[in-house]
Amino acid sequence: MSINTRRIVLKTKSVQNLRDIGFYSCNGGYVKSNVLLRADQLVDLYESDKNHLIDKGLKYIVDLRKPSETINFPSAFNDSNAVEVHNIIAPKYKNKQSVKLNDSCMGEEYIRKIDSFGEYYVSVIKSIIEFDGMAVIHCVAGKDRTGIIIALIHLLLGVRKNDILSDYEISEVYLEENIKRFLALNPNIPRYLISSNRKNMIMLIDYIEMKYESTYNYLKLHGFRETDLMKLREKFVCNIKIFDVSYSQDTPLTHKFPYVSFR
CA–CA gap between residue 30 and residue 245 (Å, rounded): 10
SS3 141: coil
pLDDT at 255: 37
The secondary element (H helix, E strand) that includes residue 84 is strand 84-87
pLDDT beneath 70: ranges in the chain: 1-5, 95-104, 241-263
CA–CA gap between residue 239 and residue 108 (Å, rounded): 36
Burial of 131: CB neighbours in 10 Å, binned 0-12, 13-18, 19+: middle
pLDDT at 4: 44
Within the chain, how many helices (H) and strands (E) appear? Answer: 10, 10
The angle at the Cα of 160, spanning 155 to 162, to the nearest 5 degrees, equals: 110
pLDDT at 98: 47
Q: In what order do the strands lie in the sheet with 260-262?
A: 84-87, 58-63, 134-138, 36-39, 19-20, 7-9, 260-262
In order of their start, the domains of the chain are 7-93+104-236 (3.90.190.10)
The closest alpha carbon to 74, from 59, 88, 83, 63, belongs to: 63
CA–CA gap between residue 243 and residue 201 (Å, rounded): 25
pLDDT at 244: 47
Q: Please spell the DSSP secondary structure of 207-246, one letter per residue.
A: HHHHHHSSHHHHHHTTT--HHHHHHHHHHHEESS------
C-alpha 98, offset from chain centre: 26
pLDDT at 250: 38
Given a contact cutoff of 8 angstroms between Cβ atoms, the answer to whether 137 and 64 are in contact is: yes
C-beta atoms surrounding 71 within 10 Å? 9
The closest alpha carbon to 153, from 164, 141, 140, belongs to: 164
pLDDT at 191: 78
Helix axes 161-174 and 198-212, enclosed angle (nearest 10):
150
Write the CB contacts of 244 (distance below 8 Å, at least 6 apart in sequence). none
CA–CA gap between residue 165 and residue 150 (Å, rounded): 11
Tell me, what DSSP letter sits at residue 132?
Answer: S
The closest alpha carbon to 232, from 124, 121, 126, belongs to: 126
